[in-house]
Structure 1
Amino acid sequence: MVSRGRAVALVAALIVIALLTAASTVPRMSDVAVFATPAIEPQVVDAPSSPAVSLSSKLFRSSSDAVVVTDSATREDWKTVAETAATRHVPVFAVRPATSADVEAELHRLGTRSVWVVGAGETGFHSTSQFSTTQVSTPSADLAGLRGNPAPDGPRPVVFAAGPLDPDLAATAAAGGTRLVGVAVPDPRASGESVRALREARGTVPVIALGRAFGDTPTFARNVEQAVTLPEIPGGGQLVASGRRMVALYGSPGSPSLGPLGRQGLDATIARVKGIAAQYQRVSRELVVPAFEIIVTVASASPGDGGAYTSMIDPAQIRPWVEAAGRAGVYVTLDLQPGRMNFLTQAKRYADLLAMPHVGLALDPEWRLKPEQVHLTQIGSVGAAEVNATSDWLAGLTREHRLPQKLFVLHEFDTDMLANRQQIVTTRPELQTVIHADGHGIPSVKMDTWRRILVDLPPNVVMGWKNFYTEDTPMLTPSQTMNVEPRPFFVSFQ
């Protein structure tokens, strides 16, 4: 039988053992669940000064260690930092006067104990009482002592950022196990890569946009839904002018006199325009997409049936060219020369072709006659009301058929050709408007035309440039064309 004294001693010993056991199993900082999992629904996160800080606030609950990089860090330093972030799973922040306060606040939120400073110079932190700092002179060696976090598990977000990606943002994304997607413009529909990332995620992982440039959360969520569900255009994505340029052959099938597009058969034309696009790709940072600009209504010198001074080609004759172009990754723009008809009436004739995802529309006001005008005697023109009626119809067709954004080209070589140009609506999200300068001649004359057309441009337009094989003396080379400012988005050849 155990005596009362021995029983008390035994209980006390058991309590001590229990306390020691509990103490030995208290998790270290690096063993705590440090990663947050945002909600699955798409969301936009403010990124006022440091996208890396904004992303850290979504990915990390805590981190005992973090890396801070000053402006004096070298490319090799950044390489080591990126590798460390990816293997040790710690956030990384570039610190400069504009970001130091936000970085310091994030370190406090994370409960960071050790800050590893890569690069010379001050961090600009006001209070470091919470954490110790270690100035790193040789990152490959000194960061070896950094205390990491466990590898993230569970669904990790897809994160979108616009413009060049900051190295600390890329490192923090890698540390948090996220897929970081850079887009040329703040829209998830901008590229084939961004669309692929969303389709692979497809409601199974969170989707985050960094910065209010992506719009509010409902706008971003709507664009995500379109990226996942709408067809893509040649070059990928669903935005016509994002991160790409187009190079087009102009003309009409079987009509050599109307332009180079009609001077060879279909397969040869595809090969020819791809060859020109390849020449431009060598001098363009952006992807160059080959294109056709097919004249489907042709201005005529005689009145013809109905006195319209235009001939409308049967859409069935154009369809094989449009379909083959789509299969070959060639964008198509249907060009209208309406004579005394109006653009909207002619556009509707080609509604079935325009309902294809890789087909846009071009209006050529030079060939839009008033009732008493004739071609080659007067230069035509069109008012804003007719242009707007046509673009409104085209935007509606795009919405109805759930299509990607369409190219909407307005040709111009004289400012009178687009009357009331400031009243033309260029903000329809379904369309990307191009003002296409059609001047020809010696380079100085072409540049004079270009500069006139640039004056008081409507908002949200991109520019087009035309090179003429015979009328330009000499015709600009790809390098010379890409040196025109602003750099043309759409370059056509006639």
Structure 2
Amino acid sequence: MYKYTLLKNILRLSATLAFAAVTFSASAQTTQPDSTLKPATLDTARYDSLYKRLANGDKTGKWPVKNAPLPKAGAILPFYRVVAYYGNMYSKNMGVLGQYDPATMREKLKAEVKNWEAADPGTPVKPALHYICVTAQADAGSNGLHNLRMPFSQIDKAIEMAKPLNALVFLDIQVGYSTVQKELPLLEKYLKMPNVHFGIDPEFSMKEGSVPGKRIGTFDADDINYVTKYLSKLCDKYNLPPKIFVVHRFTKRMVTNYKDIKLDSNVQFVMDMDGWGGPELKKGTYKAYVAGEPVQFTGFKLFYKNDIKKVPNHMMTPKEVLMLKPAPIYIQYQ
């Protein structure tokens, strides 16, 4: 279930120079948040009903999560299911987002949205682009951090690509030797946009000093709580609706001290099952590391290529995924 892919080293120089050339002040392409997008009140009765529905008949007593805070007004989950295309525009191998030209990619994503709406007519779907804006690298690079920050022009491109679908945008980081504390503030000018959300990948957080791709990394609850607090402050500062925060996971040590993860009414937390393989392997991983260690909401990743590497494996259908307990509310395609 190991999915690591590196960008070519030739991209490092061009992307690093482009990133350095951009100042962190708001650019002409960065629009100010529209506070009118944030409704005045939350339909708490409907929220509670939909949240309980996601438990999907779970008998463990873990779902729905008890004592989870109600979100602020304008929350996306669980009123909608998010279906996202994942990847990086510099690489066709890192995910479907970079595999096709923008128009073709959007048509394929629209088709998946329809598939999910047909499988669960009671839950409308919001499309999303989940863009890896910091990629882990085997080479240490000039900063010694074993990561490559995408130029802001590429983030702008992802946001423009999302507009014809009115899609959400997720900015995802693979920190390498860096930290979320160092990388997250560099993205604030984008995260203050109402439609931009955030994700982190523990697989490539190399706290022990290993080269990315040689072993699986880890984040602790302290790292996760830092992100939640940071995003919550942004919501308060710019009068934003709640942010969705996705954490990828397919092993136990990828997320340590999960019971210490703190929830916030400004942030909707998703633990995303990120492993690839056959249906039984994926369902087992989901049960052990996502459903078995509950936080708030759950996600599930589907791989167009890796899930079908071994015959007779197949990529799980929406109906199969919706049989999981709890039912994932965030779906990602790579």
Shorter-chain TM-score: which interval?
0.7 to 0.9
Asked if structure 2 preserves the Cα contact closer than 8 Å seen for 1:326 and 1:358, the reply is: no
> In 2, distance between residues paired with 1:311 and 1:292?
19
Residue correspondence of structure 1 range 393-472 to structure 2 within 5 A: 393-425=230-262, 427-453=263-289, 454-458=291-295, 461-472=296-307
Q: Find the partner of 1:487 among 299, 320, 327.
A: 327
1:286 lines up with 2:286 in the alignment:
no
1:270-296 deviations in Å (ceiling 9; x for gaps): 222111111111011200111111100
> In 2, distance between residues paired with 1:455 and 1:434?
14
1:22-68 deviations in Å (ceiling 9; x for gaps): xxxxxxxxxxxxxxxxxxxxxxxxxxxxxxxxxxxxxxxxxxxxxxx
Look up the match of 1:475.
315
| Number of equivalenced pairs | 270
Residue correspondence of structure 1 range 238-277 to structure 2 within 5 A: 238-277=74-113
1:374-413 deviations in Å (ceiling 9; x for gaps): 1121110011112211221111112111111111011110
Report the aligned-residue RMSD: 2.4
Asked if structure 1 preserves the Cα contact closer than 8 Å seen for 2:131 and 2:158, the reply is: no
Q: Find the partner of 1:303 among 140, 143, 146.
A: 140
Residue correspondence of structure 1 range 147-186 to structure 2 within 5 A: 183-185=46-48
Q: TM-score, normalised by structure 2?
A: 0.76
Residue correspondence of structure 1 range 5-404 to structure 2 within 5 A: 183-185=46-48, 238-284=74-120, 285-404=122-241
Q: TM-score, normalised by structure 1?
A: 0.52
Identity, % of aligned positions: 27
> In 2, distance between residues paired with 1:270 and 1:332?
13
> In 2, distance between residues paired with 1:439 and 1:324?
27
402-411 or 386-395, which moves further after superposition?
386-395
Residue 372 of structure 1 and its aligned partner are, at CA, apart by 2.2
Residue 268 of structure 1 and its aligned partner are, at CA, apart by 2.5
State the structure with bigger RCO (CA 8 A, min sep 6), 1 or 2.
Answer: 2
Look up the match of 1:118.
none
| Higher Cα radius of gyration | 1
> In 2, distance between residues paired with 1:315 and 1:161?
37
> In 2, distance between residues paired with 1:347 and 1:397?
12
1:77-108 deviations in Å (ceiling 9; x for gaps): xxxxxxxxxxxxxxxxxxxxxxxxxxxxxxxx
Question: Structure 1: where are the runs of 5+ without partners?
Answer: 1-158, 164-182, 188-212, 228-237
Q: Secondary structure, in 3 states, of the residue corresponding to 2:185? A: helix
Asked if structure 2 preserves the Cα contact closer than 8 Å seen for 1:266 and 1:321, the reply is: no
More helix as a share of residues: 1
Question: Structure 2: where are the runs of 5+ without partners?
Answer: 1-40, 51-66, 308-312
